[in-house]
């Protein structure tokens, strides 16, 4: 999963957005006894499961929750980093201004008292910060910390290129003259994410990260000015060098935040352990998002299906949302497993894709996919229906583009591309790719050199499922004279290569959500030139204009036609082979109560899972989760 990634590893590029929800009706819950049923987000908003009636003798009484993951964060820096598990872990260690209410699929205030008061022109958003949120040294989270957070993210020297576009619309943050707890965020334009962009930036303690208060000397206007020479400012450069340093990425002493948990240790390649803070500011609350019932939450890395099954059968893992469908179905065939765990399959707003380099340099990466006929041929050679049947028993839903089929703007006029080797061969012939030397590999003269249709097909090492997909795609491509060499990569390596456009083709996924999206970071041409998340080089003047208009159009009646046109162009240009909508595979041990499963990431709110009473721990239970 690269950043909005996620069949197992996703890229985080889709952020929560303005005022939206699936509908205005009441929250619907499902208490489902059928663990084999798919639950769709168009049927309900979340799933609630009754607590187990009895605590079985084989169940552990230890109040430690072990959560299976199939990948690690690239880093735990408060601004830098893009991998999905980074954001998931930060949900427990950090505090944000705004977040998602998983049950209602709406936005909720966190570090502010209420959702904002909005000016008549739709560009000024006034909030009041809460006065009860404390950092670990006892100091109160303040407006100063909020201003510092967004300046640090905006600073041109901060190593967070994938986040920069989400802050382009931010003009200034102004403190109220009469009340230091009230502040107004001023935006350049009306924008679909003028509120929701706040949900992806944890609030940092200014005195910890900037004890010399360097950023107070600089303004948002300077950081917004393309002519501002940040690298020539000695104090700013010194601050950035320190701030970007590795210690803030992995050292538990420096990966700090105002959340209820802190990172106790990171055993690379093994696990990340979070431990509950004692006497935290949330102590005494029973509100879901502020509870911290487990004493520890361990994110345990295990991406091998056979080993995963053994661990679940031995009850050494408590929860997961990322096992393969095949693995979960095999576990569900075991009556002992079903006695110990609740499982459900739920739709998500994520999708998997195979990216092709449309603008290679012609040296490191050959010009194989510059012609859309070739890219369409690659799509015709991907045996997606067979992959679905073999890997997911037909449970996954195919998609045609970058918009979730659960959303009203999904373009239903676009038809799924079939698996058709002969049609692919015809397109490759038309594009000039033919086997001229009888070696069963197509070739073409490009820039005076004979180039073979042979390339590296990258995939994540985080799951056997990725390898299976790559292998099946490669096998079918070879039947058309195309050689896709399997290239298993560590996620951090693939992210670096993708960002630098140093790839031929790779398999990954993006994490989406219910809210309106800004497609700038993944699809705008500016996100290719800036080494953002437009890895393929997709885009032209029309798509840029559509993206720029969509993100500033709040009326769905006007934005949906533009979104459908955008999808048509993506479909025609074929920068990706679009695969499947993500299917979350939820598993939670029955020794924990408060079980709910969500369509929004992370799918399960781990800190609200409460160890059920038993003969050994009944006296320890209280209304106080801390």
126-173 confidence digits (pLDDT tens):
999 999 999 999 999 999 999 999 999 999 999 998 788 789 899 999
Q: Is the residue at 220 inside a domain?
A: yes
Q: Is the residue at 265 inside a domain?
A: no
Q: Is the residue at 142 inside a domain?
A: yes
* Confidence category of residue 2, pLDDT binned at 50, 70, 90: very low
Q: Is the residue at 280 inside a domain?
A: no
Dihedral over Cα of 474, 511, 23, 562: its sign: negative
What is the average pLDDT across 379-396?
92
How many other CB atoms are there within 10 angstroms of residue 438's CB atom?
6
Output the CA torsion 293→49→58→314 (10° steps): -90
Going by C-alpha positions, the residue among 549, 626, 527, 536 that lies closest to residue 259 is 626
pLDDT at position 149: 98
Is pLDDT at 15 greater than 50 in this prediction?
no
How many structural domains are present in the chain?
A: 1
**Tokens 């600089």 belong to residue:** 218
Q: Is the residue at 497 inside a domain?
A: no
Q: Which domain holds residue 179?
A: 95-256
> 345 with 599: CB under 8 angstroms?
no
pLDDT at position 32: 40
> 560 with 517: CB under 8 angstroms?
no
477-517 confidence digits (pLDDT tens):
999 999 999 999 988 899 899 999 999 999 999 988 888 88
Burial of 413 (0-12, 13-18, 19+ CB in 10 A): exposed
Distances from the Cα of 384 to the Cαs of 391, 415, 416, 466, 470, in angstroms? 10, 14, 10, 13, 11
Q: Is the residue at 252 inside a domain?
A: yes
CA 37-595-82 angle, 5° bins: 90
428-474 confidence digits (pLDDT tens):
999 999 999 999 999 999 999 999 999 999 998 877 788 999 999 99
Q: From the CA atom positions of the chain, what is the Rg in Å?
A: 25
Going by C-alpha positions, the residue among 538, 531, 508 that lies closest to residue 358 is 538
Provide DSSP, 273-291: EEEEPTT-TTTT---GGG-
Distance of alpha carbon 18 from alpha carbon 197, whole angstroms: 9
How many other CB atoms are there within 10 angstroms of residue 103's CB atom?
18
Q: Is the residue at 210 inside a domain?
A: yes
Mean pLDDT of the chain: 90
Going by C-alpha positions, the residue among 431, 422, 454, 427 that lies closest to residue 441 is 454
Distance of alpha carbon 440 from alpha carbon 456, whole angstroms: 17
* Confidence category of residue 11, pLDDT binned at 50, 70, 90: very low
Output the CA torsion 559→564→570→573 (10° steps): -130
Consecutive H or E run containing 153? helix 143-154
* Confidence category of residue 411, pLDDT binned at 50, 70, 90: very high
Could you tell me the CATH number of the domain that includes residue 200? 3.90.76.10
* Confidence category of residue 6, pLDDT binned at 50, 70, 90: very low
Distance of alpha carbon 324 from alpha carbon 303, whole angstroms: 10
Dihedral over Cα of 212, 216, 217, 223: its sign: positive
Question: What distance, in Å, lies between the first and last C-alpha atoms of the chain?
Answer: 34
Q: Is the peptide bond before 602 cis (omega within 30 degrees of 0)?
A: yes
């Amino acid at each position: 999963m690269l950043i909005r990634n996620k069949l197992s590893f996703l890229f985080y590029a889709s952020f929560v957005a303005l005022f939206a929800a699936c509908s205005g009706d009441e929250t619907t819950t499902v208490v489902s006894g059928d663990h084999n049923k798919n639950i769709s987000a168009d049927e309900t908003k979340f799933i609630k499961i009754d607590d187990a009636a009895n605590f079985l003798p084989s169940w552990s009484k230890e109040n430690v929750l072990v959560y299976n993951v199939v990948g690690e964060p690239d880093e735990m820096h408060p601004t830098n980093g893009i991998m999905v598990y980074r954001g998931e872990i930060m949900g427990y260690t950090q505090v944000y201004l705004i977040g998602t209410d998983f049950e209602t699929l709406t936005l909720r205030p966190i570090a502010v008292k209420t959702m904002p008061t909005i000016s008549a022109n739709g560009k000024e958003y006034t909030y009041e910060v809460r006065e009860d949120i404390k950092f670990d040294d006892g100091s109160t989270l303040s407006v100063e910390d909020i201003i510092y957070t967004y300046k640090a993210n905006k600073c041109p020297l901060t190593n967070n290129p994938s986040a920069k576009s989400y802050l382009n619309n931010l003009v200034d943050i102004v403190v109220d003259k009469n009340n230091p707890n009230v502040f107004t965020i001023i935006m350049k334009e009306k924008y679909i994410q003028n509120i929701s962009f706040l949900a992806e930036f944890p609030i940092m303690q200014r005195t910890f990260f900037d004890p010399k208060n360097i950023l107070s000397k600089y303004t948002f206007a300077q950081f917004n000015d393309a002519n501002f020479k940040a690298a020539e400012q000695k104090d700013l450069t010194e601050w950035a060098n320190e701030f970007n340093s590795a210690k803030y990425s992995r050292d538990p002493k420096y990966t700090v935040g105002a959340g209820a948990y802190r990172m106790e240790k990171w055993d690379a390649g093994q696990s990340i352990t979070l431990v509950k803070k004692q006497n935290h500011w949330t102590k005494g609350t029973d509100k879901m998002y502020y509870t911290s019932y487990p004493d520890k939450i361990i994110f345990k890395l295990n991406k091998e299906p056979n080993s995963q099954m053994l661990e679940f059968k031995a009850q050494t893992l408590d929860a997961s949302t990322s096992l393969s469908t095949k693995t979960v179905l095999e576990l569900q065939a075991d009556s002992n497993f079903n006695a110990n765990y609740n499982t459900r399959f739920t739709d998500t707003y994520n999708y998997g894709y195979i990216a092709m380099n449309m603008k290679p340099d012609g040296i490191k990466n050959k010009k194989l996919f510059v012609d859309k006929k070739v890219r369409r041929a690659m799509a015709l050679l991907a045996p997606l229906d067979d992959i679905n049947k073999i890997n997911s028993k037909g449970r996954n839903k195919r998609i045609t583009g970058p918009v979730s089929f659960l959303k009203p703007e999904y373009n239903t006029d676009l038809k799924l591309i079939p698996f058709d080797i002969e049609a692919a061969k015809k397109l490759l012939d038309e594009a000039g790719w033919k086997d001229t030397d009888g070696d069963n590999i197509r070739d073409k003269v490009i820039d005076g050199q004979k180039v073979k249709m042979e390339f590296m097909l990258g995939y994540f090492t985080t799951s056997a499922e990725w390898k299976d997909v790559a292998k099946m795609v490669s096998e079918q491509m070879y039947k058309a004279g195309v050689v896709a060499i399997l290239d298993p990569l560590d996620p951090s390596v693939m992210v670096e290569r993708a960002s630098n456009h140093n790839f031929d083709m790779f398999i990954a996924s993006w994490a989406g959500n219910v809210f309106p999206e800004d497609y700038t970071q993944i699809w705008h041409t500016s996100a290719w030139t800036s080494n953002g998340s437009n890895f393929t080089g997709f885009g032209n003047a029309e798509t840029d204009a559509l993206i720029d208009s969509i993100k500033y159009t709040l009326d769905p009646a006007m934005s949906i036609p533009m979104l459908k046109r955008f999808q048509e162009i993506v479909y025609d240009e074929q920068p990706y082979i679009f695969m499947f909508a993500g299917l979350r595979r939820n598993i939670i041990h029955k020794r924990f109560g408060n079980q709910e499963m969500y369509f929004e990431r992370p799918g399960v709110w781990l800190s609200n899972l409460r160890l059920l009473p038993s003969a050994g721990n009944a006296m320890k239970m209280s209304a106080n989760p801390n």
